[in-house]
Each structure stands twice: as C-alpha cells, then as structure tokens.
Amino acid sequence: MPGIQSYDTIIVGAGFSGLYMLHRLRGLGMSARVYERGSGVGGTWYWNRYPGARCDVESVQYSYSFSDELQREWQWTERYAGQAEILRYANHVADRFDLRRDIELNTNVVSAEFDEAENRWAVTLGDGRQVSAQHLVMAVGCLSNARVPDFPGLGSFRGRVYHTGEWPHEGVDFSGLRVGVVGTGSSAIQSIPVIAAEAKHVTVFQRTPNYSIPARNYPLSDDEKRLWAENFPEFRRRAREEMRNGIVSEIPQNGALDVSDAEREAAYEFRWKRGGIPFMSTYNNLALDKAANDTAAEFVRRKIGEVVRNPAVAKLLQPTSYPIGTKRICLDSDYFETFNRDNVTLVDVRHAPIEKITPKGLVTGGKEYDFDAIVFATGFDAMTGSFAKIDIHGRSGLMLKKKWEEGPKTYLGLMVADFPNMFLITGPGSPSVLSNMIVSIEQHVDWVADCLAYLRRRDIACVEATRGAEDEWVAHVNEVAHTTLYPQANSWYMGANIPGKPRVFLPYIGGIPAYRAICNDVAANGYRGFALTRQQSIAAAE
Ligand code: N01
C-alpha cells in the first residue's frame, strides 16, 4: 500500500507475549512492529502496581525458557517475585534482545481491518496513522481490560479513586486515610494487608468470599537457585509435558477419598504449611468430584476459622457457595490475619449490594460509609475484553465483537474463522489463565512462528481457521469444562463477573500436555483445520 508503512507482522501488545513474538519473528528474518498502549513494556506487570502485587507462580517457573543464557544470568530474589522485580525482568529482556527499536509505546491500536483482495491487515493507530501487515498477532493479554462496576454516582466521589489494575506509577500513600476496598479477589487479597498496615482505617466490601492459601514467600536461597540452574532443561520439559497447569510440582496419584481421614488431613496440613497453588494438587480429583472437593474446602474453611478471632467475621470470610478452586485460587500473605486488626472492618455486600457512590463514600444497606479513598479491586473483562476494545473487522466486514456476541469462538484459541492471518496469543479456548502463563505464551508464540515460517516456505498468502474446525473445538472446550466442577462457580472464567456477558467457559481445561499434543499434531498434519490459500488458489484445506 503506497504511503503506508507496512510490515510482515504487526503485534498488538508488549507484554510477555509481544516481546517474545517479536524476538521469534526477528529470528525468522521477518519485519515486525509492536504497538503498546502503555508507556513501558511488561503488560500485566506494567499496569498492576497495587501494593502487595506479586506473582502466584514461583519466580523461577514464571520466567522465559527460550534462552538458556537468559535463564542462567537472571537471578530471582524471592520465591514469588514482586511486581517491581518482574517488571525489571521484562525490561531486561527488552534490552538484552534489543527489542525496543521495533516497539512503539504510548500507541493505541484503534481498529484492524482485513483486506480480502490483498490478504493484509490495515491497522489504524490512536494518532490516526495507518499501517499495514500481512499478519496480525493479538498479544493483548487475558486480564488487561480493568473494569469498575457501573455503580450509580460513580463519578461523584470527591476523594481519590483507584483500580488495582491501573495503579498510579508514583505509588499511593494511604497513611492517615480512611480507605474503602471493593472486591475480595486475588488483587484485593494481596493489597488489603499492605493497605491496612498503612491506612487509618480500611473497610472491605465483600460480595463473595474467596479461598486463599498462604503464599509463604521467602528469599530464595543459593541452594534453591543452584538446583534450578543445574536442572533447567528437565524442569522446563516437565512443565511443558507433564504438568496440567505448567507448574512443576508433585503429580497426585490418589483421589481425596481413597485415603483415610488422618492421612488426608496430614496431606492438606503439609501443603498448607508449604504454601502455594500446589495445595490444589494434593489429590487428583479435587476439580472433578464434589465430595472430594468438599474435603479441601472444609479444611480451608477450618483454617480461616482458626485464624480470624471474631466468629461472625470468620463466618463471612468462609466461602461456601462454590467448590474450592473453581474460582481462581488466591495466594496471600496474612490476608485473614488482617481482619484481626482494629482498623479493618468487613462489610457483606452480598445481601445488601452497593447502592451508590456518593461525594463522601458509598452506600450499602441504607448506610453511608465515608472515605478519603476508594480502591476498586473489581477485576477485568477477562479474555475477550481486550479484543472488544479494538474494532476488528474480518471477511466481509464481520466484526469480531459481533461474532463473539454469544461467547468467543476460536480454533485452538489461536485463530478465528473469517479473520484470516490473525493469531491470538493465549486466546479464549486455550489453557492460558488456567496455566503458568509463561509456559502457555511460549508455546503459542513458537507455534505461530513455526506456522509463519511454514507459510513462507510454501508461498501461502492466507491462513484461516475453517468454520468446521472452529465449531468442533468450541464444542470440545465446552464439553471438557463440563466434566469438571468449574462451571459451578460464578467466576470470571465463565464471564459471570460482567453483567450481560454470555456464560461460557473461556479457557481450555484439558491441560497443557494434552493441548500441546493437539497443537503439534495439527501442525504436523499440514495445519489440519486451517485453510491455506496461495494468492490465487487453495493449496490445502481440512
Ligand atoms: O479480580 P476478580 P482480581 N459489587 O475478578 C468483586 C489474576 N491475578 O483483579 O466474586 C461488589 O478476581 C468480585 O465479587 P464476586 C488472577 O488470575 C493474579 O482480584 O464477583 N463486589 C470480586 O471479589 C485473578 O483471578 C494475581 O462476587 C464486586 C472482585 O470484585 C485475576 O487476575 C494477582 C462487584 C473482583 O475479583 C483477577 O483478579 C492479582 C460489585 N458490583 C490478580 N463487582 C497473582 O498472580 C465485582 N466485585 C497473585
């Protein structure tokens, strides 16, 4: 297109997906440009700077494996890296691999339109510029569309307002302030203890209590670092090939009801003391069998009851309305202990929903609460929200938003029928948020890079998921989800946190090893389920 800057590939987003995608495309000798709306790289870790923000996957595992030099030279300091350290890591990767020269920061992608005659994407940027590329890679992240519920009077509050997912870069000093926190998901659970240690008073508005496991963070010892450094290839292989969630830990052999009560209690106690997400892998049927799940849920409820001194508060904090793990399990550092502080109050907004925001605070149950600051820890329009912000038009002008009106449809979470040459990194229908994100990101980026190399070798101008393959995959994603307890919770996995959003299970729950095998098999069989078109002729199809 004359006068328009054009590339082989445009990548939207400079988080962990976008950075690695750019690196892989460079290695293939392809031209690529990354557009990022933030003023820095790092995606999630650029935006989520709230107090206490920390990864819930162990740092050595939540890191790239694609470069042996990188994984040996970078030294993580803690078991779970804090936000600032992960952001430093993202910046280190950008510098080390000289990525910045192809990244444009502070640049919104407003729309993308597929030109059927040219088999190219025409992309419009926030400053009005038009750019074009044969391929478009949406590396927009799964949780990057922060949302505040549509409370009446939202704009009227005269104090300060924050959202955990869009935290000010300069930080916030809560000393001496009366703070209201709305929400009790992962972000709230991490930030409330830190805010409470600083603020005059914190009032937490809880609609649904969450199951949370102690993180038990600590500085990494030299021995632990050495163990990883000496075994990286094997640990990484296990994460990809053996672990359903891409996190190396013991693989459970028994169901929770196959062992005696005493043995089960000891096993939960051991994992509780050790801390971390692997608590949910104590037994192999916790996500599948309600009676088995009840044993873990009851254990955690009991722990909450032991920690929280006021029985009425403890009861409010004990989840009972959904199986443990079917909402994203949380990790915390002294979350339940925080409710023993004199300056922390818990308010139930399940039975008396927040009525409105006022100039002084908020109203629930007919009572007005006054604050100096309100923190919305109210989450994201997950997995599809970041796509919905961009006007994406495929064949015949079809809008992605329209196509996904009743729930996202993808083939493998990688491509969408009628949206040729557009790839999604960790899109809906892939393991993504149910896994160690870095493991899933690397797999998708490698798959896309290999696919693009394949297309180039064969002079293929257009690749597209067929509708048949897409329908079958959507049905499979749904079927597998319904063999588990997950659909029983009103979670963001189900789109249930957004009023009016269709209730469909968004990620693929078949596990990373099975999913990788499917993707590899599809590629090995000439990209089965994709239509591959030369400029004039159809080269292959299903
Ligand atoms: O968001 P959430 P998040 N009135 O959606 C409540 C990842 N993450 O930012 O449960 C009152 O989980 C809502 O209540 P309910 C992780 O994958 C990872 O905390 O819908 N309350 C809920 O309590 C995580 O799952 C890390 O009834 C309202 C809260 O707001 C994901 O991000 C750290 C409300 C939202 O919780 C999202 O977590 C942080 C209303 N109208 C996040 N609307 C780590 O790696 C919503 N709520 C550790």
Q: What are phi and psi of 401, to 5 degrees?
A: -55, -40
The pLDDT score that the predictor gives to residue 337 is 98
Token pair of 261, please? 């009560």
CA of 492 to the centre of ligand 1 (A): 8
Helices marked H in 134-289 — which ranges?
A: 186-196, 222-241, 261-274
Assess whether the C-beta atom of 57 lies below 6 angstroms from ligand 1: no
Number of other CB atoms surrounding residue 158 within 10 Å? 11
| Nearest-CA residue for atom 12 of ligand 1 | 185
* Closest-CA residue to 465 (of 383, 514, 536, 400): 400
Per DSSP, the residues of 103-145 read: EE-S--EEEEEEETTTTEEEEEETTS-EEEEEEEEE---SS--
Q: What is the pLDDT along the chain (542 residues), one digit of tens a residue?
A: 557 999 999 999 999 999 999 999 999 999 999 999 999 999 999 999 999 999 999 999 999 999 999 999 999 999 999 999 999 999 999 999 999 999 999 999 999 999 999 999 999 999 999 999 999 999 999 999 999 999 999 999 999 999 999 999 999 999 999 999 999 999 999 999 999 999 999 999 999 999 999 999 999 999 999 999 999 999 999 999 999 999 999 999 999 999 999 999 999 999 999 999 999 999 999 999 999 999 999 999 999 999 999 999 999 999 999 999 999 999 999 999 999 999 999 999 999 999 999 999 999 999 999 999 999 999 999 999 999 999 999 999 999 999 999 999 999 999 999 999 999 999 999 999 999 999 999 999 999 999 999 999 999 999 999 999 999 999 999 999 999 999 999 999 999 999 999 999 999 999 999 999 999 999 999 999 999 998 765 444 44
| Nearest-CA residue for atom 41 of ligand 1 | 149
Assess whether the C-beta atom of 364 lies below 6 angstroms from ligand 1: no
Across 150-233, the runs of DSSP E, i.e. the strands, are 160-163, 178-182, 201-206, 212-214
Distance between CA atoms of 226 and 183, rounded to whole angstroms? Answer: 39
Distance between CA atoms of 449 and 23, rounded to whole angstroms? Answer: 10
Query: Which residues, 6 or more positions from 359, have their beta carbon under 8 angstroms from its beta carbon?
Result: 156, 157, 158
Assess whether the C-beta atom of 212 lies below 6 angstroms from ligand 1: no
* Closest-CA residue to 494 (of 509, 480, 484, 504): 504
CA of 396 to the centre of ligand 1 (A): 37
Instruction: Please state whether beta strands 367-370 and 201-206 pair in parallel, antiparallel, or not at all (unpaired).
Output: unpaired
| Nearest-CA residue for atom 24 of ligand 1 | 186
Assess whether the C-beta atom of 184 lies below 6 angstroms from ligand 1: yes
21 in Cβ contact with 452 (< 8 Å) = no
| Residues forming a β-bridge with 367 | 364
Ligand 1: which of 330, 331, 378 to mutate, most ligand atoms within 8 Å of CB? Answer: 378
Q: Which atom of ligand 1 is nearest to the CA of 188?
A: 19
Token pair of 307, please? 């920690």
Ligand 1: which of 186, 216, 490 to mutate, most ligand atoms within 8 Å of CB? Answer: 186
Ligand 1: which of 143, 154, 356 to mutate, most ligand atoms within 8 Å of CB? Answer: 143
Assess whether the C-beta atom of 451 lies below 6 angstroms from ligand 1: no
Token pair of 234, please? 């094997």
Distance between CA atoms of 463 and 455, rounded to whole angstroms? Answer: 8
Distance between CA atoms of 180 and 162, rounded to whole angstroms? Answer: 10
Assess whether the C-beta atom of 438 lies below 6 angstroms from ligand 1: no
451 in Cβ contact with 526 (< 8 Å) = no
Assess whether the C-beta atom of 333 lies below 6 angstroms from ligand 1: no
The pLDDT score that the predictor gives to residue 537 is 52
| Nearest-CA residue for atom 28 of ligand 1 | 183
Cβ density class 238-257: b for 16+ within 10 Å, e for less: bbbeebbbbbbbeebeeebe
**Range 524-527, long-range pairs (CB < 8 A, 24+ positions):** 527/451, 527/454, 527/463
User: DSSP 3-state assignment of 70?
Assistant: helix
| Residues forming a β-bridge with 345 | 203
CA of 179 to the centre of ligand 1 (A): 18
195 in Cβ contact with 203 (< 8 Å) = no
CA of 222 to the centre of ligand 1 (A): 35
CA of 129 to the centre of ligand 1 (A): 36
Number of other CB atoms surrounding residue 203 within 10 Å? 21
Distance between CA atoms of 292 and 10, rounded to whole angstroms? Answer: 47
Assess whether the C-beta atom of 349 lies below 6 angstroms from ligand 1: yes
Assess whether the C-beta atom of 191 lies below 6 angstroms from ligand 1: no
User: DSSP 3-state assignment of 21?
Assistant: helix
Assess whether the C-beta atom of 183 lies below 6 angstroms from ligand 1: yes
Phi-psi region of 537 (alpha: psi -120 to 50; beta: other; left: phi over 0): beta
286 in Cβ contact with 325 (< 8 Å) = yes
Query: Which residues, 6 or more positions from 233, have their beta carbon under 8 angstroms from its beta carbon?
Result: none
Q: Which atom of ligand 1 is nearest to the CA of 186?
A: 19
On the CB side of 393, CA atoms within 13 Å amount to: 12
Instruction: Please state whether beta strands 130-138 and 120-125 pair in parallel, antiparallel, or not at all (unpaired).
Output: antiparallel
Cβ density class 378-401: b for 16+ within 10 Å, e for less: bbbbbbbbbbebbebbbeeebebe
CA of 378 to the centre of ligand 1 (A): 5
Token pair of 147, please? 């949302």
317 in Cβ contact with 304 (< 8 Å) = yes
Assess whether the C-beta atom of 434 lies below 6 angstroms from ligand 1: no
The pLDDT score that the predictor gives to residue 538 is 45
Cα-to-chain-centroid distance, residue 261: 35
Distance between CA atoms of 271 and 281, rounded to whole angstroms? Answer: 9
The pLDDT score that the predictor gives to residue 1 is 52
CA of 185 to the centre of ligand 1 (A): 4
CA torsion, points 101, 105, 109, 112, in degrees to nearest 10? 10
Token pair of 121, please? 């994407």
CA of 7 to the centre of ligand 1 (A): 38
The pLDDT score that the predictor gives to residue 3 is 75
The pLDDT score that the predictor gives to residue 192 is 98
Assess whether the C-beta atom of 63 lies below 6 angstroms from ligand 1: no
**Cα three-residue angle 430-453-409, rounded to 5 degrees:** 25
